[in-house]
Amino acid sequence: MRDDIRNLAIIAHVDHGKTTLVDAMLKQSGLFRSNEAVVERMMDSLDLERERGITIMAKNASVHYHNVKINIVDTPGHSDFGGEVERVLKMVDGVMLLVDASEGPLPQTRYVLSKALAQNLPAIVVINKIDRQDARAEEVVSEVFDLFIDLDATEDQIDFPVIYTIARDGVAKRDLADESRDLQPLFDEILKTIPPPSASDGVLQLLVANLDYNEYVGRLAIGRIFAGSVAVGDMISICKLDGSIEKTKVTKLYAFEGLKQQPIDEADAGEIVALAGIDDIYIGETVSAADDPRPLPRITVDEPTIAMIFSVNTSPFSGREGKFVTSRKLRERLDKETLGNVAIRVEGTDSMDSFRVSGRGELQLAILIEMMRREGFEMQVSKPEVIIREENNRRLEPIELAVIDCPETFIGVVTEALGRRRGRMTKMINHGTGRVRMEFEIPSRGLIGFRSEFLTDTKGTGLLNTIFLRWDDWQGIISQRITGALVADRSGRATTYALYNLQERGELFVRPNTEVYEGMLVGENARDVDLDVNVVKEKKLTNMRASTADEAMRLVPFRELSLEQALEFIREDELVEVTPQSIRMRKKILAANQRPKGRMTE
């Protein structure tokens, strides 16, 4: 046993406070001077994580408490990033399951707990945000208890310790009535409940469970040493995913100290380390002894449920704003993604210029697209579609559980909207607070594009959480967006005059002077058909006064769609064009006279 080490992951539903709790643990372990200014949610170091306020990638850190090194893996709580949680559980000997004291267990709580229980990991249940006005800590503990039972936990697992916290203030208590000013009760519980890693001698076996990048040393392969030891200068073998073995030498070895990686000379079984200087190493591969390679079982994660086609940008504006525009670059980048992100798949298609990219949800794919455009890529992507399986002549599609929290007054609209999308209510709980919680089973197909409608329907007050439930028989046709699009019928720059005359048709997506091309979507048509429109029309200038009148035209503010909103908006015959600077929507077929008829023209 290595009693000087504990390895644990912190898991929860999105926003329940994982990263905030890690902040507090880092601060209280004396990592910073008492007067040192530190940012909030330190572990959320990616630009996209900071902008969106969510964790996207699992990350390692460590703290010291009573001469014990506690390696902590912070994980994302959004269900689209569930694959991150699944694979890092391989590195740890236990988990802290965080649950919001008011919201209680939500779909992702259930998902991550089920994965931890399946690995036989002991859990400390941490009820966080007990400072909330609407906290109902004790009730939530009993809901968590029910969840363990529901997931067929063993008696040992059900006998979990509970700690109450205010992560934001760095306070933990064993009992709600306790006075406490710090996290000591939590640290003590970690040492007590999370077993030390077993130290096994013998042949080196290190399972790569995470990849990182450090600008000084390049690629880092992060993993836990399951057996043996490793030292700088050792010859090692990498047991590749394809079964081959590659020999190399350890040039740089790191351990996690706080938020940093610290160079070390050697490490033993039980420790979580990072190896640098090996370019060709991927998640799920085993680092083993040079003369006696022994691969560990590879890491498997749940299958993707949603797919999108990524293609070379074929719009007339292609190549204007991006650095990387060719199909070769696109393919290389996507392949690279699959090596670091086990929940993403990439396949070729009939066309050399298109690739089918599958993942766990719209957000996961949108984040990938967003990262790529920031790196300088241009591409066009199709409407996300669910993955359909054929099994024993049955056509199966993914079904999700949608858990909705909203004010009572919206029960009607929400139920109606989900009914249209083939959702079936399975549960409704009225907490008597004016808000209700409803559960629906609904095909993933029906959820595509639902989020923005839901937020509008509930005036921004609703909470929607979804999680994959099962594969089930195809549920029949689900009707799509009921409105059509306003489609530019020629290229040029949009004019105030033209937009002014169009705005009564529906909401506009472009502002005056935006450059458009034929086939580009410039607005939503209130009617259910597409309408080809001229947005570049100039007013005939008959005299000077006409142009002053032009300036006086008041335009309704245009709606700028985010990437996710654009992905939700488009239909099967449309695409989103993504470049480092722009997000445009377009018809697949740009030329108006080549698109299927049955549309209106102005």
Ligand X SMILES: Nc1nc2c(ncn2[C@@H]2O[C@H](COP(=O)(O)OP(=O)(O)OP(=O)(O)O)[C@@H](O)[C@H]2O)c(=O)[nH]1
**Residue 18 binds Mg ion, judged by CB under 5 A:** yes
Under the binding rule (CB under 5 A), the answer on residue 444 touching Mg ion is no
Contact between 76 and 54 under an 8 Å Cβ cutoff? The reply is yes
Identify which range of 10-18, 144-152, 469-477, 552-560 contacts ligand X by CB under 6 A. Answer: 10-18
Residue 119 CA to residue 122 CA, distance in Å, equals 9
Closer to ligand X by Cβ: residue 17 or 443: 17
Q: How far is the CB of 172 from ligand X (least distance, A)?
A: 10
b/e code 395-427 from CB counts within 10 Å (16+ = b):
ebbbbbbbbbbbeeebbebbbebbeebbbebee
Out of 6, 16, 27, 421, the residue judged to bind ligand X by CB under 6 A: 16
| Least Å from the CB of residue 41 to Mg ion | 7
Instruction: Indicate the helix (H) or strand (E) that contains 267.
Output: strand 266-268
Residues near 600 by beta carbon (within 8 Å), at least 6 away in sequence = 527, 529, 530, 531, 532
β-partners of residue 465 are 403
DSSP state of 197: P
Stretch that binds Mg ion, among 16-24, 329-337, 365-373, 519-527 (CB under 5 A): 16-24
The tokens for 395 are 């056509």
Q: Write down the least CB distance from residue 447 to ligand X, Å.
A: 19
> Out of Mg ion, ligand X, none, which partner does residue 516 contact, by CB within 5 to 8 A per kind?
none
Asked if residue 448 lies in contact with residue 366, where contact means CB atoms within 8 angstroms, the answer is no
- 206 touches 254 (CB < 8 A): no
* Residue 68, phi then psi, degrees to nearest 5: -110, 135
Closest CA to 448 of 562, 307, 573, 587: 307
Q: In the complex, what is the shortest distance from the CB of residue 55 to Mg ion, in angstroms, rounded to a whole number?
A: 3
Number of residues that bind ligand X (CB under 6 A): 21
Cβ neighbours around 240 below 10 Å, total = 16
| Smallest distance, ligand X to C-beta of residue 367, A | 12
223: helix, coil or strand? strand
- The helices-and-strands tally (H runs, E runs) of the chain is 15, 35
Phi and psi torsions of 25, nearest 5°: -65, -40
- Contact residue for ligand X among 5, 9, 11, 14 (CB under 6 A): 14
| Contact partner at residue 129 from ligand X, Mg ion, none, CB < 5 to 8 Å by partner kind | ligand X
Residues 6+ apart with CB under 8 A from 350: none
Site residues for ligand X, 153-172, by CB under 6 A, read: 166-168
Smallest gap, in angstroms, from Cβ of residue 5 to ligand X? 24
| Closer residue to ligand X (CB): 128 or 495 | 128
In angstroms, the CA 275 to CA 177 distance is: 46
Q: Write the binding mask 74 to 113 for ligand X: x where contact by CB under 6 A, - elsewhere.
A: --xxx-----------------------------------
Q: Contact region for ligand X (CB under 6 A) — 12-20, 173-181, 379-387, 430-438?
A: 12-20
Minimum separation from the CB atom of position 69 to Mg ion (A): 22
Spell out, one character per residue from 40 to 69, where the chain touches ligand X: x when CB under 6 A holds, - when not: -x------------xx--------------
Nearest to ligand X of 97, 521 (CB atom)? 97
Q: Within 211-277, where are the H helices?
A: none
Restricting to residues 115-144, which ones interact with ligand X according to CB under 6 A?
A: 128-129, 131-132
Which C-beta is closer to Mg ion: that of 18 or that of 383? 18
Query: Binding ligand X by CB under 6 A: which of 5, 9, 11, 12?
Result: 12
Tell me which stretch binds ligand X (CB under 6 A): 13-21, 179-187, 394-402, 461-469: 13-21
Hey, which residues between 27 and 56 contact Mg ion (CB under 5 A)?
55
Span of 7-15, 185-193, 295-303, 327-335 interacting with ligand X by CB under 6 A: 7-15
Q: How far is the CB of 21 from ligand X (least distance, A)?
A: 7
* Residue 513 C-beta: closest distance to ligand X, Å: 38
Q: What, of ligand X, Mg ion, none, does residue 131 touch, CB below 5 to 8 Å by kind?
A: ligand X
DSSP line for 543-583: SHHHHHHHHHPPPPPP----HHHHHHH--TTEEEEE-SS-E
Residue 229 CB partners (closer than 8 Å, separation 6+) = 204, 266, 267, 268, 269
Helix (H) or strand (E) holding 47: helix 47-52
- Nearer to ligand X by Cβ, of 112 and 255: the residue is 112
Which of 7, 19, 71, 165 touches Mg ion by CB under 5 A?
Answer: 19
> If binding is defined by CB under 5 A, does position 79 make contact with Mg ion?
no
For residue 165, list its beta bridge partners: 172
Q: Which does 197 bind (CB under 5 to 8 A by kind): ligand X, Mg ion, none?
A: none
Residues contacting 262, CB < 8 A, separation 6+: 254, 255, 256
Locate all alpha helices (DSSP H) within 312-431, ordered by sequence. Answer: 327-340, 362-374, 411-420
For ligand X, give the closer residue by CB, 41 or 422: 41
- In this structure, are residues 128 and 165 in contact, taking their beta carbons and an 8 Å threshold? yes
Closest C-alpha to 491, from 525, 531, 520: 520
Rounded least distance, CB 153 to Mg ion, Å: 25
Partner from Mg ion, ligand X, none contacting 61, C-beta within 5 to 8 A by type: none
Residues that bind ligand X (CB under 6 A): 12, 14-20, 41, 54-55, 76-78, 128-129, 131-132, 166-168
Residues that bind Mg ion (CB under 5 A): 18-19, 55
